[in-house]
Structure formats: structure tokens, C-alpha cells
Structure 1
Amino acid sequence: MSALFWFRRDFRLYSNEALIDALNDGAKHAVFFVCEQQWQQHQMSAIARDLLLRRVSYVGQRLARYGVTLHVLHAPMFADVPSKLKQLVDELALKRVYANKEYEVNEVARDKACSLLGLDLQLYDGDVIAPPGSVTTKSGDMFKVFTPFKRQWLKIHELTQFGLPSWPLNDSEEAVTWHADACLEGDGSSNKWPVDDEALHNIVSRFVHDKLAGYQDDRDFPAIKGTSGLSPYLAIGALSVKQLLINVQIHHPNVLQNAKSNLFCWVNELIWREFYRHLIVAYPSLCKHQNFNAKYDTLKWQDDEEAFMAWCEGRTGYPLVDAAMRQLTQTGWMHNRLRMVVASFLTKHLLIDWRKGESFFMQHLIDGDLASNNGGWQWAASTGCDAQPYFRIFNPITQSERFDPEGEFIRKYLPELEKVPTKYIHFPHQYLAATASNCYWPAIVDHKAARERALARFKVDDE
């Protein structure tokens, strides 16, 4: 017994090469640190915390069956982890610590501090298929546009048939218990999301078998369950990108060689996820919420707390925006198309700093993830890497008409509009005025006027 496995955001068993190598190195112990103050500082939502802790409990019980003890220890901040990890390693007389890399600034600093204490860290790139720094331009630089990044990613991996290492353990004859010094009780808010491996296997299989072929056509319609719904499990590492790609390749072996096919559309989203991870390694300032495109550092955002709260609470008077925000606050999740719509509305219609929206999302999302959340918000705000141009401003009314044509999604989250005819559901104010109804909020801004204001404001900083 010479090794310890350190869980981070990688709570999976069979698709975890670092864990399996640790077990093959004789590991009988694993550790996870509950860093409540750090999580609060990073604005981890209550529902994401609940999902993570439920998964920790599940994995602890599974490991115990294999004779591996999971130690769940309390460390308020990441800075408290190195000394506690060193103490555990010394107490157990271990030599090596296996773990998967985390790429954010605070996490990298934590790992450096561990190494300075003399801990032998064996770190793996388990959260991505292509390790950061492996997909670069000919000059060795990070791509600043997604499409050439994707082409190079595919050039490296398109002929690869991915596989997973064999699980090395059998059920143990010697029962062990897992050890928790830190509280693992959540608030139960994530209970609609199962955390056991059998359920996750079924969710992945159903998506690959039943939804993948229609993903490109269905993914933009929030009233249809056309997306995978797997992002919360990727965020806590209950599933890996490689594991998901393997599931696709089993049924579609040539998917990476057919980048223009409908089947590739979802894989393309996984590569976007990798793109944003590579970016935060190449540009650590992104972890500090700085604009990727520095020319927008002088952009004058509106300091309008009343408008921001109306956006947060779903009171903008634009039904698709309001329904999306209520979906977020009620369920902890938001459809991807709607994330773009509400982010565009906040940053372009209201001219409110994207960082306020990014923060609000992290505080409420079950799948909150710094790299993807930051990348998505800066894309919508036109301040990011390969972002939409500043003059592309989503019209929330036409987006509603196109992607929720019958108003099904709107009526689900805005029951006050249930009786509004479909003809008027996307912007009901004229109809409500004619019927003397005051059941819904007035529009907080006029679309045309807000668009012109945004164009003028962004154009000054773009010149």
C-alpha cells in the first residue's frame, strides 16, 4: 500500500484513469476535501453542492465494497488543503498521491503548494480528451478562433477509437467503512437528478440511442427534451468527456471523421467545452473575470440594479427571457439556447456587465462550470474569444417565435400568460392592454431602442 487517490471534480469510478492507476499502485485509501468557504467564494450554487455531496456519498459506499476507504475531510479554503493532505499521507505512510488536474488559478496554486510540501503528485488530464497545450497553431500558440481549434483537435484525434482501462478490483471480502469528518448533508434540491451509476448509464444510453440523431434539429427548442441533460454530471466529473465519446463511437465508429454530419453536432459541443478549458490555461486572467478582448475594458456598462433584479426575477416583460430565468431559479438548470438569449438580453438590451450575469448563473446553475460559464457569457457579451460580433443582438421576440412557436415553454414557467392566444404569447402587451389585463410586467425596454443604444455603445469601443 503506497498510493492515495485524491478526488476533486472527478467523482467517477470506471472512466477514471488516475483512480485506476492509483488502485493498481496498491491504493486502499482515497480522500476528498469539503472546502465550504472556497466553494462560497467561487459562488457554487446550493443545488450543485447538493448534487456533488450526494455523489460523494454514493462513491464512498461503492469504494467501500471494493475495500477502499474514502476519507472526507474538512478544509475551509484550498489553501488549507496541502497541510491536511500531507498529514493524511504521513499518517497512512503513503508515498504517492494520484489526482486529476484542475486548471483554474486557485486550484493550480493549491497543487503547487502541495508539491512544495514534498508531496509526490501524479496528475492526469482526466477532464479533457486533448490536454491543454496539445492543440496549438503552427507557432505553438493557443487558437483564438474555435473552428481552426476544432480542425486541429480532429486532426489529432479523428482516427482514434477511444477505450477505457479495465477496472482492477473485485468486491472485497474485508468490509471497510468510509470516513467523513466533514458534513455531507445537502438541502435535497438536486433529488430529481439521480447519482447512481446504473441511472447515469441509462441516461447516456437513451441519449445516444434515442436523441443523438435528432439533436441538431431539436436542441434549440426548450419545450422539447432534445438536449443530453448531461452537463451537471460533467461538471462534477460523474461522467467524463472520453466516456461519452466512447458511447457515441460504439454505435457510430466514424463520427469524428464526419464533422459535417448531424451526429457530429453534439460532439462539436464537447469540443467547445475543451476549447474553453484550453483558454483558461493559456489565459489565466479569465479565471479572474477579465475581458478576453481588452479593447472592451473601457466599455461603459449601465449601473442599473433595478433592471438587473428584473432580469434575475423574470420581470423583463419579454416572455421567453422571463420564462428562461424562472426555469433557472426554480430548477437550477436552463436550456442552452435560452442561456444565449438571456445573456444577450442582459448585456445588449440592458447594457449590464456580463460579470453580473456570469455570477448569477454560477449561484443558481446545477452545472455551473467556470470555463464554460465564462466562455459562454463573454461570447454573448462580445468581449470573449471568438465571440459573437457586437452587432449581433438576439431579438427575444423573434427567438421566441422561432424556438417556442406554440408558447409551450413560456406557459410552463409563466402561468399568468396561460390564457393568452398563441398569436400574442411572444409579446403580449398589446393584447393584455386591449383586454384590460395587468397580469404581466410591462416591457422593461423597447427592443429597437435598446438595440440602437447597444450598437452605439459598443461601436465606440470597437473603433
Structure 2
Amino acid sequence: MQLVWFRNDLRIQDHSALYFAQQNGPCMAVVILSPDQWKLHQDATIKIDFYLRQLAELKKSLCGLNIPLHIQTVPLWQDIPAALKQLCQRFQIKTIHCNIENGWNEKQRDLSVATQVSKMDCQFEQYTDRTIFPLHTIRNKSNQPYQVFSAFKKNCIEQLNICVPQALPAIEAQQMVFNNEKIDNLIPSLQQLGFEAIPAEKQQLWPVGEQVALDHLMHFIDSNLVQYDQTRDFPAIEGTSQLSVYLNIGILSIRQCLEALFNAQQGHFYIENSGQQFWLNELLWREFYQHVMADFSHVSKHLPFKRNTENISWLQDDEALNAWKYGQTGIPIVDAGMRQMLATGWMHNRVRMICAMFLAKNLLIDWRKGEAWFMQQLVDGDFAANNGGWQWSASTGTDSVPYFRVFNPTSQSQKFDAQGDYIRRWVPELASCDAKQIHEPYAYITDSNLDYPLPIIDLKMSRQRAIATFKMGNAK
């Protein structure tokens, strides 16, 4: 019997471990829920709710293939090796198949599982599935990992010119493998796992299902891709793909995205417009941060990518941190983004950068506090992408531009939300402001009944302070 261990890859289409397991004989599947580990990793409740709802869809799909699904709750990963060993003994498993997860804790967990099951002559096979290219294979001329995105992207595009990875063939239904054997496949509720329930209206923002994800992908390709480069930075319009939530827990594969992107070219690499190029760049940013996490394991340990930035003197300001968390900073574009995330579990990517840089640079608060808050709120919270984005914004990461890059949130707002439509949606207190006033209302409205906080920081002063602090910290 072959065992497919599903983790953050809850689909049956183009699933490497499932496909190759089926080539070796009859299969069963397992999903292990680890609520205490999720809390340690600060996964958002809305993300866990999304995962459980998709798990119900996966259960139906596997049932249609006559593949039994065993669902087990093991609170902490450290206890998974023993649990899987027992499962393998119970069902006479010959091989465990799973897709590679490359976080530090994930790798330690899988190493322990491999060691444990090898004692009973059970094989442990892992497959590249979450990334376009196998980890540790994109290297510079000195055979070293890339530390800057532009060079990494160039190498990836050279590889794609040679071959674009294709989705795997469809899985076929197998003969029934169990008749009377009891399989534990009840899906616990959020409350049973120790989390608060998510309101139905919030769940409805993020429908589950492989077909839903594929339809969303094709709608983006057909309707938004051509103008993607012109619309992606404007939060008031639907210019981004919003596919990150489906990629994050593997309802959609990266190969399916590439296949859709290059569909007209039948698997060959060919860019015919700037929209395609810009979306490919975004997919490669995602790829880059996955490879960074694999090649530089210290980023998984609450350490900056640039080790010399450990000396930066961050401020301890709980009042300012809470104002930022709940969208009460008096900086409209920042407050709009933070409130959007609280209300929906998602934030526009341009606004994520603005909010992150405001915390790390203008407020000079440790980026790790912001990184943690985002993970606690985001339905698409992915450690590699979240960590990479925060470190880029805080100038502790892979950004090739030095620390003096400091976004002015007001200028960003004026450029990317010129009419203030995004701000009005999420900061209704400013709905009466015109397109000029709304970006910095108290610069124009002195005698007002606006129920909106004054700015908690002077942007010009805080920029100068950030540059001086980072200069000193980098010099130590």
C-alpha cells in the first residue's frame, strides 16, 4: 500500500506525490492537523478555516477516485513521526509519498519521519511540487545561491526558455482497497481545534474547490492579464490575480499557472505582451523567496537575511504598534490597508509594501512584529513570501537598494489611489474629503469634525530618523 501525505497541497490535479504514488500501486491518503503547531507558526484563523473547507473538498475528490483518506489530529509536529509509524504499521504501508516543504521546521519534521519509518522498511519519497524548479538548483556561475532577485529571475527565464514545466496527467480511479477497514476521516471544526469560528460573510470571500481556483485563474488570464502591468499597483481596481490564497495551500499548482500563462504557445516559453511578463515576474518573486528560505535557513529563525542589520536599534512603542495594527495611524493609505486585512484576510500587494515600510521605517518598529501580525491575519499567509516581503520593506532582506529607500505613504497614495476610492472604501470617516484632501486630510482641513485620528508620526522627520538609525546600525 502506498500512502500519500497531503500537507499544503490539497488538490488531486497535477499533484506530484499523488501521481507518482499511484504509479507504484494502490493508494490511501492522510492529512494530519496540527493546531498547536499552527498557533506556534502564527497561522491566521481565516487561513485555517480556508484549509478545513478545502479539506472537505479534497475528501470528496479522493472518494471519487476510491482513495481512502485518513484524517488525524496531532497537535505538534514533533509527535507526527510516531503517529505515521503507527499508521504505516496498521495499513502495511510500503512507501510514504509527499511533496517537499522547505521551511526549517518542516524539513526537521520530515527528516524525523523518514528516520522513524525507515526502521520498519518503509520508504519516504519527496517530490518537487511547490516550486517551478527543484530547490538548490538555480545557481550563479560560482555555483552559489542568488541573493538578488534580478539575477535569479534572469537565470529562471533562461531555464524556462529551455523547458516550461508541464502539469501531470490526470489521476484515474483505483479499485476499492478497503471494504470493512475503519478509516478515520471526520473533519473537526475550528472550535474543536481551539480556534474561533469565522463569520459566514467572511468565508464567502474565499470560496474553495479546485474548479473554483481554475476558473479564477482562467478569468484572470482572459480578462486581466494583458493590462496586468498597468493595473496591478492600483488597489481600488481588480488588477491583481488574487491567486495567492489558492497557491498557498496548493488548491492550485504553480505548473497550472505556467500552463495557463503560456497556453497559446503550447508549453513553449514566449512572451507576447508586458502583462504576461509582469505576471511571470510575480510568479518568479514567489519562487525566489521559496529558494531563499531553502538556501538561507537563518531567515526561518527570526533572523534578518542581511546579518549586519541585527544591530539596528528598533523602538519599543506599543501604542504606535497597536495604532498600526488596527488602522488608526492617521495616515489614510496605511489605515485603509490594515483595515482591509482585518475585514477580509487579504491586502493589496502594493499596500502591503506601504504598510510594512511605514512600520519598519517611519515608526522604526521591529519588522518581525509586523511580519507576525500579517501572518496572524492573512488568508494567504505564506512564510517565505511574507518574510521576504517584510525583509525587503525593512531593508534587512534581499533588496539590492540600500536602507535609504523609504516610501512616502502619502506620495504612494496620491500615485496609486489618486481619486481616493480605495481609501474611501476602507476609511469611511474620510468619505467627504475630495481627491486632494483625502491623502492627508489634516494638511487641508483644520476646522473639521472628522472622526479620524491625527497622524501619529511626522513623515519627513521619521524618514530622516530611519536613515540615520539604519546607517548607524549597518556601521556597527
Distance 1:210 1:181, change over 3 A: closer
Structure 1: distance between partners of 2:382 and 2:371: 10
1:234-278 alpha-carbon deviations (Å, 9 max, x no partner)? 111111111100111113558844498331111111111111111
1:361-400 alpha-carbon deviations (Å, 9 max, x no partner)? 0000000011110000000000012354211111111111
Distance 1:341 1:255, change over 3 A: farther
Distance 1:174 1:109, change over 3 A: closer
Does the alignment pair 1:398 with 2:411? yes
Corresponding residue to 2:185 among 158, 170, 180 = 180
Contact (CA 8 Å) 2:314, 2:364: kept in 1 or not?
Answer: yes
Secondary structure (helix, strand or coil) at the match of 1:128 reads: coil
Does the alignment pair 1:214 with 2:227? yes
**Equivalent position of 1:4 in the other structure:** 3
Q: CA deviation at 1:71?
A: 0.7
Does the alignment pair 1:128 with 2:131? yes
Where does the alignment leave 5 or more consecutive residues of structure 1 unmatched? none
Q: TM-score scaled by structure 2?
A: 0.93
Greater Cα shift, 11-20 or 50-59 = 11-20
Secondary structure (helix, strand or coil) at the match of 1:439 reads: coil
**Equivalent position of 2:445 in the other structure:** 432
Where does the alignment leave 5 or more consecutive residues of structure 2 unmatched? 192-196
Q: CA deviation at 1:431?
A: 3.5
Distance 1:77 1:202, change over 3 A: same
Give the residue type in structure 2 aligned to 1:369: D
Q: CA deviation at 1:148?
A: 1.1
Q: CA deviation at 1:174?
A: 9.0
Secondary structure (helix, strand or coil) at the match of 1:425 reads: helix
**Equivalent position of 1:448 in the other structure:** 460
Contact (CA 8 Å) 1:215, 1:227: kept in 2 or not?
Answer: yes
1:280-326 alpha-carbon deviations (Å, 9 max, x no partner)? 11111100110111111111001000000010011111100000000
Contact (CA 8 Å) 2:71, 2:186: kept in 1 or not?
Answer: yes
Q: TM-score scaled by structure 1?
A: 0.95
Aligned residues: 461
Secondary structure (helix, strand or coil) at the match of 2:335 reads: helix
Distance 1:388 1:308, change over 3 A: farther
Give the residue type in structure 2 aligned to 1:251: A
Distance 1:379 1:259, change over 3 A: farther
Greater Cα shift, 153-162 or 313-322 = 153-162
**Equivalent position of 1:56 in the other structure:** 55
Q: CA deviation at 1:430?
A: 3.4
Corresponding residue to 1:244 among 257, 262, 265 = 257
Greater Cα shift, 332-341 or 188-197 = 188-197
Distance 1:195 1:462, change over 3 A: same
Structure 2: distance between partners of 1:387 and 1:319: 29
Distance 1:385 1:24, change over 3 A: same
Structure 2: distance between partners of 1:199 and 1:217: 26
**Equivalent position of 1:148 in the other structure:** 151
Secondary structure (helix, strand or coil) at the match of 1:71 reads: strand
1:9-63 alpha-carbon deviations (Å, 9 max, x no partner)? 0111111121111122223310010000000000000000000111111101111
Does the alignment pair 1:268 with 2:281? yes
Structure 2: distance between partners of 1:209 and 1:145: 32
Contact (CA 8 Å) 1:33, 1:72: kept in 2 or not?
Answer: yes
Q: Give aligned-pair identity as a percent.
A: 38
Distance 1:390 1:114, change over 3 A: same
Structure 2: distance between partners of 1:289 and 1:24: 40
**Equivalent position of 2:328 in the other structure:** 315
Matches within 5 A, 1:21-40: 21-40=20-39
Matches within 5 A, 1:278-317: 278-317=291-330
Distance 1:3 1:175, change over 3 A: closer
Structure 1: distance between partners of 2:97 and 2:399: 35
Greater Cα shift, 230-239 or 14-23 = 14-23
Contact (CA 8 Å) 1:34, 1:182: kept in 2 or not?
Answer: no
